[in-house]
Structure 1
Amino acid sequence: MRKFIVLGILLLLFLVGCSTKTTDEKVATLVNNYLEAVETNDVSSMVKYADDIRFPDKAEQKEEYSSIIDEGINSNITGTKIVELKKVNETEFAATVEMIDEGNLTNFTFPVEKKKRGWKVIVGQDL
């Protein structure tokens, strides 16, 4: 009987461990979600996944992003992907991404930081 209890506990621990994403996977998913939002001009998702240091207020960030989309500035991005995701420390990653904008391939590196509200892509820094 004791053997079955131990096996049951081990199986439970194994299943819990397998069902939780690693931090790297969580950050990669966040960055991919952000990139998809950029490609599709989904302002709400861009604001959700990113902290823009130019706009500490989320409402202001959303308003400015909507204005940019309305002017057609962001609509030329046709492809994005993560090139490299590097762990800096326990609360920060560096995500190098590739973007195709008006047919031109450009690489950017974004910090990704763990905040009180979870992981966020940090945008708005000097490129």
Structure 2
Amino acid sequence: MRKLMVLVVLILIILSGCSSEASLTNDEKVTGLVNSYLEALESKDISAMVKYTDDLRFPNKEEQKKQYSNIEEEITDTKIVEIKEISETEFEATVEISSDGNINELTFPIQKQDEDWKIIVGQDF
């Protein structure tokens, strides 16, 4: 009986760990996405930058990768200023990016595309 009880508890622990991704709120998912994107910017991880974005300037991901590999800007620091929900499928992220000695504040739309969230870049304001 005791072994059965231990087995049931272990199964419940495993199942609750598996469902933690599904229990994240949209706000948490979007905040995680923006943080991952900012880390990719700082480390110049082009594959990650392409993965997290939908860049409207490029017709496909290969062209996007090619153009991103030519970026010479040195990004030294990034931070999230604000993330606000526009609708169930759209957020807006304001971030601060320090590059080449300048601090710029940028706002990006974030949209749910299929099951994934994407940062929309390359749009005109």
User: What TM bracket, shorter-length normalisation?
Assistant: 0.7 to 0.9
Cα distance in 2 between the residues matched to 1:117 and 1:56? 21
SS of 1:55 mapped into structure 2: coil
C-alpha deviation, 1:56, in angstroms:
2.6
Identity value in percent: 57
Other-structure match for 2:3:
none
Other-structure match for 1:23:
26
Return the structure number with greater helix share.
1
Instruction: State how many pairs are aligned.
Output: 110
Other-structure match for 2:77:
79
Query: Which 4+ runs in 1 deviate beyond 2 A?
Result: none
Correspondent of 2:110 among 94, 109, 112: 112
Other-structure match for 2:58:
55
Cα distance in 2 between the residues matched to 1:82 and 1:109? 10
Other-structure match for 2:4:
none
Q: Which runs of 5+ in 2 are unaligned?
A: 1-11
Alignment RMSD (CA, Å): 2.0
1:95 aligns with 2:93: yes
TM-score, structure 2 normalization:
0.80
Q: Which runs of 5+ in 1 are unaligned?
A: 1-10
SS of 1:95 mapped into structure 2: strand
Cα distance in 1 between the residues matched to 2:86 and 2:111? 10
Change over 3 Å in CA distance of 1:117–1:64 after alignment to 2: farther
Cα distance in 2 between the residues matched to 1:121 and 1:56? 16
C-alpha deviation, 1:125, in angstroms:
1.3
C-alpha deviation, 1:117, in angstroms:
4.9
1:38 aligns with 2:41: yes
1:44-81 deviation per Cα after TM superposition (whole angstroms, max 9, x unaligned): 0000000100013011111111122xxx2x2x210001
C-alpha deviation, 1:116, in angstroms:
1.6
C-alpha deviation, 1:22, in angstroms:
0.8
Cα distance in 1 between the residues matched to 2:114 and 2:62? 18
